[in-house]
């Protein structure tokens, strides 16, 4: 029995129809990250940023979890050790596949954050500059509860504690281009954990892993989960 930390990125949701960021035709080939995913971009043109996330939210609501999300939920349910799922994704496909504890280090598309009082609450529809915070009443301060470049990711202390105790670190569908998540493999390795990457192609950080398995997450993840559960 062992503790496992799993990090997921956009690749785990790619086969659900949600675009990745850096692949050919990825979101960052069509949008300037500085315009739509930074506090400065939001200050310059809040309507553009809200429209970007409104489109992401609509896509997300139309998407359904794939076999990789379901396999990870099955692992959480059946594995005798502790399974920690940390995701960089702001979609809710892990939860909709039945995963109970999901650490969203880059926030959640289906939540709003009040820039005036920090209140957070569920948000499924379109967001506009006319929306008011239900707690403090501020208008024009409601933004998606997502972490932008230049902001500090959520749950970093909790994630560090889980990495320090894990025996196996698994990275799925992330390019390893964005820190601090890209540094988790080195942190886990330094604590003596085995490390495995499941990705469509070699990521930037592939050399840091003990083992790399290439292929679509909908195939590699269920196969890995089944083998692990059978071995217990």
Instruction: Indicate whether 200 belongs to the interface with ligand OAD (CB under 6 A).
Output: yes
Least separation in angstroms between CB 134 and ligand OAD: 26
Q: Which is nearer to ligand OAD, 106 or 143 (CB)?
A: 106
DSSP string, the chain: ---EEEEE-THHHHTTT---SSSTT-HHHHS-HHHHSSHHHHHH-HHHHHHHHHHHHHHHHH----HHHHHHHHHHHH-SS-EEEEE---S-HHHHTT-S-EEETTEEEEEEEETTT--EEE--S---TT-B-TTT--BS-EEEEEPPTTSPPTTHHHHHHHHHH-SEEEEES--S-STTGGGHHHHHHHTT-EEEEEESS--TTGGGSSEEEES-HHHHHHHHHHHHHHH-
41 binds ligand OAD per the rule CB under 6 A: no
Kindly state whether residue 10 participates in binding ligand OAD, applying the rule CB under 6 A: yes
Q: Which stretch binds ligand OAD (CB under 6 A): 9-17, 49-57, 112-120, 189-197?
A: 9-17
Query: Which of 3, 16, 20, 195 is the binder for ligand OAD (CB under 6 A)?
Result: 20
Binding pattern for the stretch 156-175 against ligand OAD, x by CB under 6 A and - elsewhere: -----------------xxx
Select from 203, 208, 212, 224 the one that contacts ligand OAD (CB under 6 A). 203
Q: Point out which residues bind ligand OAD (CB under 6 A).
A: 9-11, 14-15, 20-23, 26, 37, 88, 106, 147, 149, 173-175, 177-178, 199-201, 203, 216-217
């Amino acid at each position: 029995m062992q503790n496992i930390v799993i990090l997921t990125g956009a690749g785990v949701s790619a086969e659900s129809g949600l675009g990745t960021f850096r692949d050919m035709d990825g979101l960052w080939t069509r949008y300037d990250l500085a315009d739509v995913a930074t506090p400065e971009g939001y200050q310059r043109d809040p309507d553009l940023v809200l429209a970007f996330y409104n489109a992401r939210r609509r896509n997300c609501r139309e998407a359904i979890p794939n076999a990789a999300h379901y396999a990870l939920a099955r692992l959480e349910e059946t594995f005798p050790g502790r399974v920690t799922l940390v995701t960089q994704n702001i979609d809710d496909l892990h939860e909709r596949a039945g995963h109970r504890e999901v650490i969203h280090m880059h926030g959640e598309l289906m939540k709003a954050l009040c820039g005036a009082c920090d209140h957070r609450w569920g948000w499924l529809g379109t967001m506009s500059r006319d929306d008011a915070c239900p707690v403090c009443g501020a208008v024009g301060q409601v933004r998606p509860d997502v972490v932008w470049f230049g902001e500090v990711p959520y749950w970093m202390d909790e994630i560090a504690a889980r990495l320090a105790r894990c025996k196996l670190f698994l990275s799925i569908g992330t390019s390893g281009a964005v820190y601090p998540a890209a540094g988790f493999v080195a942190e886990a390795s330094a604590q003596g954990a085995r490390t495995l990457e499941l990705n469509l192609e070699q990521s930037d950080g592939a050399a840091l892993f003990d083992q790399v398995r290439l292929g679509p997450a909908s195939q590699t993840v269920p196969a890995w989960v089944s083998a692990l559960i059978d071995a217990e």
